[in-house]
């Protein structure tokens, strides 16, 4: 079994590469103030104008059939074929985009995830000769996978066992960026009848793209390793409020009396709003039976809950695949409360600022807190032979994997280069700090591994119980 000392060696050994000078000083995505969510059922008095063509088609649908579910609104806005945010933005990341993520802040992040996977593979007896399949969900620019593969290349026995890389990506433009990053600058993925595919520049491992994780079929001699960084927060949610008549779903309606010029760059006010479903909808009726946590909240007047059915589906897929293979792992890193059910967390993000989720549909990133408690509950369904570790704060996870050693090694290599040293330092601090603009506390890591009877999992060695984060008002601003 791989030891803690070995893990630290992995972290410092992986330091032979140069430091990538990426967009370090950018602001990051979550930690936004809650918006007011007052609900005013109303009837439209005239046809509304919205700022995007997607907004216009959503408004038209609402006007003809009534308010729509939040899930439906978010799906259209994020991954709808007709002008969804991810499906149509050429590149939402970085300074010129809307937000920045950890892999774009520092190469150390993806490298340490590579180290984590190698460590797990070693701890699982090199997965008994099975081929390793690396599966990433929502790979963004492909930076995390590129940094992880660069580390993996250095550990030949592991690199030799990797048979394929599989990426689940809804966006065509991002798929092209991922291919350029992983396969070579001018290389575009090739259509192979059912999927896009190409060979990576890293030990020739082939990469294939999928729209949905359910399209991936694993063979009996394959061990799957899933990575989902800032993927779950981008999945659509349903929201409910506990009224005197019981749970009521929050639906999306067109905002009354709004006149916004089509294609206007900056609509002054939201174009849509929440409205309470007038009667019990099917999802509201089912809520209490989904989890004792919701049942308990049904006794709290005015309680609100958010649920993400798609997240549930993805976690079932991870647990079932790991259970079937008897090996592999899933690593989820995202933001959200460790112990409570998220409420009122839907946010819009544009140009590194928080905006209403109801302005410029399709031009604004939408995200919601991840319900780690729900992920754990789902992963541990009795028919799966898996165990769950975490959620652990990102700072604990990264320190446990040796980020300090990695940082020191890189800093040593960059000695005399003050610009690179400053970038390294700010990246290290941004990823690990638990206060201010740091991501060390708000982001959390969760791992699913085969049942092991109490083996220690790298990055999840409990030193102190995870404290609940402060209320949203105290979170740093983007
Ligand atoms: N993991 C990356 C990007 C996070 S942004 C990083 O940390 O930098 C969210 C990513 O998930 C984007 O690549 C987006 O296109 C993808 N995505 C969002 N919703 C998706 C869905 N329903 N199916 C597949 N990919 C999705």
Say if CB 110 and CB 145 are below 8 A apart. yes
- The per-residue pLDDT string of the chain (478 residues; one tens digit each, 9 = 90 and over) reads 445 555 555 555 443 343 443 333 333 444 333 333 333 334 333 445 568 999 999 999 999 999 999 999 999 999 999 899 999 888 888 888 888 999 999 999 999 999 999 999 999 999 999 999 999 999 999 999 999 999 999 999 999 999 999 999 999 999 999 999 999 998 999 999 999 999 999 988 999 999 999 999 999 999 999 999 999 999 999 999 999 999 999 999 998 866 555 555 555 578 999 999 998 899 999 999 999 999 999 999 999 999 999 999 999 999 999 999 999 999 999 999 998 999 999 999 999 999 999 999 999 999 999 999 999 999 998 899 999 999 999 999 999 999 999 999 999 999 999 999 999 999 999 999 998 889 999 999 999 999 998 899 999 986 554 555 544 433 433 3
Structure tokens at 348: 């819009």
Give the separation between CA 302 and CA 314, rounded to whole angstroms: 30
Say if CB 15 and CB 88 are below 8 A apart. no
CA of 142 to the centre of ligand 1 (A): 10
Which residue's CA lies nearest to atom 14 of ligand 1?
138
Structure tokens at 361: 């549909």
Provide CB contacts within 8 A for 3, sequence distance 6+: none
- Ligand 1 pocket test, pick from 234, 332, 333, 445 with the greatest ligand atom count within 8 Å of Cβ, gives 234
Give the separation between CA 222 and CA 207, rounded to whole angstroms: 15
Find the angle CA(375)-CA(379)-CA(382) to the nearest 5 degrees: 140
Which residue's CA lies nearest to atom 19 of ligand 1?
234
Give the separation between CA 382 and CA 379, rounded to whole angstroms: 9
CA of 1 to the centre of ligand 1 (A): 34
- Closest by CA position to 474, among listed 80, 33, 25, 5: 33
CA of 211 to the centre of ligand 1 (A): 11
- Closest by CA position to 168, among listed 201, 185, 145, 202: 145
- How does 399-438 read in b/e, with b if 16+ C-beta sit within 10 Å? bbbbbebbbebbbeebeeeeebeebbeebbbbbbbeeeeb
Burial class (CB in 10 A: 0-12, 13-18, 19+), 390: buried
Say if CB 303 and CB 244 are below 8 A apart. no
- Closest by CA position to 150, among listed 165, 138, 172, 137: 165
Say if CB 309 and CB 345 are below 8 A apart. no
Look up the pTM and report it: 0.88
281 in the Ramachandran plot: left (φ > 0), alpha (ψ -120 to 50) or beta? beta
The pLDDT, as a whole number, for residue 19 is: 42
Which residue's CA lies nearest to atom 17 of ligand 1?
138
Within 10 angstroms of residue 268's Cβ, the number of other Cβ atoms is 8
Which residue's CA lies nearest to atom 2 of ligand 1?
140
Give the distance, in angstroms, between the CA of residue 199 and the centroid of all CA atoms in the same chain.
25
- Ligand 1 pocket test, pick from 29, 86, 87 with the greatest ligand atom count within 8 Å of Cβ, gives 86
CA of 97 to the centre of ligand 1 (A): 15
Give the separation between CA 263 and CA 260, rounded to whole angstroms: 9
Indicate the pairing of strand 246-254 with strand 238-243. antiparallel
CA of 417 to the centre of ligand 1 (A): 34
CA of 141 to the centre of ligand 1 (A): 9
CA of 140 to the centre of ligand 1 (A): 6
Phi then psi dihedrals of residue 446, to 5 deg? -135, 135
CA of 62 to the centre of ligand 1 (A): 27
List, chain by chain if needed, residues with CB within 6 Å of any ligand 1 atom.
78-79, 86, 101, 103-104, 138-140, 144, 168-171, 174, 229-231, 234
Give the separation between CA 327 and CA 320, rounded to whole angstroms: 11
The pLDDT, as a whole number, for residue 260 is: 56
What pairs with residue 206 in β-bridges? 199
């Amino acid at each position: 079994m791989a030891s803690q000392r070995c893990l630290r060696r992995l972290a410092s050994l992986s330091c032979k590469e140069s430091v990538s000078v990426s967009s370090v000083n950018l602001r990051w995505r979550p930690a936004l103030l809650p918006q007011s969510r007052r609900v005013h059922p109303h009837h439209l008095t005239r046809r509304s104008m919205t700022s995007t063509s997607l907004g216009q088609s959503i408004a038209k649908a609402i006007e003809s059939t009534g308010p729509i579910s939040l899930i439906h609104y978010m799906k259209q806005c994020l991954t709808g074929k007709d002008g969804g945010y991810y499906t149509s933005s050429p590149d939402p990341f970085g300074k010129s985009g809307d937000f920045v993520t950890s892999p774009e802040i520092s190469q150390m992040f993806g490298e340490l995830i590579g180290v984590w996977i190698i460590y797990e593979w070693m701890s699982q007896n090199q997965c008994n000769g099975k081929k390793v399949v690396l599966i990433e969900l929502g790979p963004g620019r492909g930076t995390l996978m590129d940094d992880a593969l660069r580390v993996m290349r250095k550990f030949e026995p592991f690199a030799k066992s990797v048979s394929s890389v599989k990426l689940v990506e809804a966006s065509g433009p991002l798929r092209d960026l991922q291919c350029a990053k992983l396969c070579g600058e001018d290389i575009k993925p090739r259509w192979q009848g059912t999927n896009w595919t190409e060979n990576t520049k890293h030990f020739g491992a082939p990469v294939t793209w999928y729209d949905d994780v359910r399209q991936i079929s694993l063979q009996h001699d394959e061990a799957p390793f899933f990575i989902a960084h800032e993927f779950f927060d981008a999945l659509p949610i349903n929201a409910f409020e506990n009224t005197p008549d019981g749970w009521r779903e929050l639906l999306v309606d067109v905002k009354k009396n709004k006149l916004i010029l089509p294609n206007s760059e900056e609509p002054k006010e939201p174009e849509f709003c929440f409205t309470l479903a007038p009667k019990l909808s099917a999802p509201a009726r089912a809520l209490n039976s989904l989890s004792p946590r919701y049942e308990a909240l049904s006794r709290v007047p005015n309680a609100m809950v958010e649920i993400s059915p798609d997240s549930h589906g993805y976690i079932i897929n991870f647990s079932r695949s790991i259970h079937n293979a008897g090996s592999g792992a899933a690593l989820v890193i995202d933001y959200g409360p460790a112990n409570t059910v998220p409420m009122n967390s839907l946010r819009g993000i544009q140009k590194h600022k928080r905006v209403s989720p109801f302005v410029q549909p399709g031009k604004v990133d939408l995200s919601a807190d991840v319900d780690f408690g729900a992920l754990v509950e789902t992963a541990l369904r009795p028919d799966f032979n898996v165990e769950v570790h975490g959620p652990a704060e990102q700072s604990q996870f990264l320190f446990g994997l040796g980020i300090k050693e990695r940082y020191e090694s890189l800093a040593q290599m960059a000695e005399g280069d003050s610009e690179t040293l400053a970038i390294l330092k700010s990246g290290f601090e941004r990823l690990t700090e638990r206060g201010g603009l740091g991501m060390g506390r708000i982001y959390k890591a969760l791992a699913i591994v085969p049942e092991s009877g109490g083996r220690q999992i790298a990055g999840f060695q409990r030193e102190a119980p995870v404290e609940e984060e402060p209320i949203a008002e105290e979170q740093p601003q983007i």
